[in-house]
Each structure stands twice: as C-alpha cells, then as structure tokens.
C-alpha cells in the first residue's frame, strides 16, 4: 500500500512538472493604483491578493506547452471598484469601509511578460495595459466580496481574456 502511494505521488509530481509554470514579480507594489483593503489589515489583504493572482497566473501558465515558463513583472494594479467609507455600524463596533463595484468600475493591470521554452529561449514577450470590460455581473452593484474566491472575479475574467487572446495559437 505504501509503494502505491509513493508511485501515485511521483506520477502526480511528474505530471505537473510538464505543464507550463508562472513566475511573478511585484514591482514597487506600494505605488500601485488601488489594492486597498476595506475591512482588513492592509498587509494581510495584500498578501491574499498577491497569492490569488499568483495562483491564477499559474493556472493560466499550465495551459502553455510543456516546460514553458510565463514570467510576469507586475507594475500596477487597480482592483475593480473602489473602497468607500460607510457610516458607523453598531453591530460590528466601528466604522465600516466597503469595496463597492459598479458597472463602470473596471479592474486595470499593467505588466510585462516573457514566455520561455524548455531551453530558456524567449518565444513571446511584451508589455500589457489591461482594462477589464464586460465584467461578470456587469450592471449590478456588489457591496463587497463575501469570500476569498470572489475576491478577484473581475480581475480573473480580464486575465483569462488576455491569456486566450495573446496565446490562442500556443494553446492549439
């Protein structure tokens, strides 16, 4: 039984080693346009946002051909919506701030990218200034993301469209 578990683990590790991977660099995040937390400690919120972006870029990079690396250097982030102060809320014991997302509050992201093959040769490179339009649920006002999985829905949709457009020929 122990050997079967080890073989399964080895096969999973070797299967994921063949998929593309992503490497992210956060360039001067203190200067980003908007990664403000609403009701959370800023440093904890930033760590959570960066982690979610890294997971998503790795999911996208996994669609690239075997052993390709997507290297991203993020230079600016503007999350969908804006953080607005709300009135005193007796139940929560203080003032509440919420990220309000309206139909015209697009996310924005600026980054450079390089895609390298297994030999380290650059097969694609460029700079992007993305602005997410046609947001999921556009037209509705969302007071705040209720879970970590909803945190970057708008930004994920924007990155999905970019990746599909930019690497459509690579994916076939």
Cα–Cα distance between 88 and 145 in angstroms, integer?
Answer: 20
Q: What is the mean pLDDT of the chain?
A: 76
Percent of the chain with pLDDT over 70: 66
Q: Specify whether the CB–CB gap between 111 and 25 falls below 8 A.
A: no
> Domain for residue 11, yes or no?
no
> Domain for residue 3, yes or no?
no
> Domain for residue 41, yes or no?
yes
> Domain for residue 144, yes or no?
yes
pLDDT: is 6 or 134 the higher one?
134
> Domain for residue 120, yes or no?
yes
Res 158 pLDDT > 50: yes
Q: Which of 71, 55, 54 is nearest to 127 (CA)?
A: 71
21-26 and 69-78 strand pairing: parallel
> Domain for residue 161, yes or no?
yes
DSSP string covering the chain, please?
-HHHHHHHHHHHHHHHHTS-EEEEEE--GGG-SB---SSS-HHHHHHHHHHHHHHHHHHHHTTSSTT-EEEEEEEEEE-SSEEEEEEEETTTTEEEEEEEB-TT---EEEEEEEEE-TTS-EEEEEEEEEE--S-TTTTS-B----SGGGTTHHHHHHHHHHHHHHHHHHH-
Q: Is 67 exposed, middle or buried (0-12, 13-18, 19+ CB in 10 A)?
A: middle
Domain coverage including residue 73: 20-171
If one counts the domains in the chain, the total is 1
> Domain for residue 111, yes or no?
yes
List pLDDT tens digits, range 25-75. Answer: 999 999 998 877 777 788 898 999 999 999 999 999 999 998 999 999 999
DSSP β-bridge partners for residue 83: 99
Is pTM beyond 0.85? Reply is no
């Amino acid at each position: 039984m122990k050997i079967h578990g080890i073989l399964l683990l080895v096969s999973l590790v070797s299967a994921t080693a063949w998929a593309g991977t992503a490497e992210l660099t956060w360039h001067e995040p203190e200067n980003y346009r908007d990664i403000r937390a609403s009701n959370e400690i800023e440093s904890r919120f930033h760590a959570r946002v960066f982690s979610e972006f890294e997971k998503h870029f790795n999911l996208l990079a996994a669609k690239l051909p075997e052993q390709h690396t997507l290297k991203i250097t993020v230079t600016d982030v503007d999350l969908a919506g804006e953080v607005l102060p709300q009135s005193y809320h007796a139940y929560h014991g203080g003032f509440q701030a919420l990220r309000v997302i309206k139909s015209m509050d697009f996310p924005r992201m600026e980054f450079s990218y390089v895609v390298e093959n297994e030999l380290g040769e650059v097969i694609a490179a460029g700079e992007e200034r993305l602005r997410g339009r046609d947001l999921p649920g556009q037209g509705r006002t969302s007071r705040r993301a209720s879970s970590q999985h909803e945190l970057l829905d708008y930004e994920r949709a924007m990155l999905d469209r970019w990746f599909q457009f930019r690497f459509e020929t690579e994916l076939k």
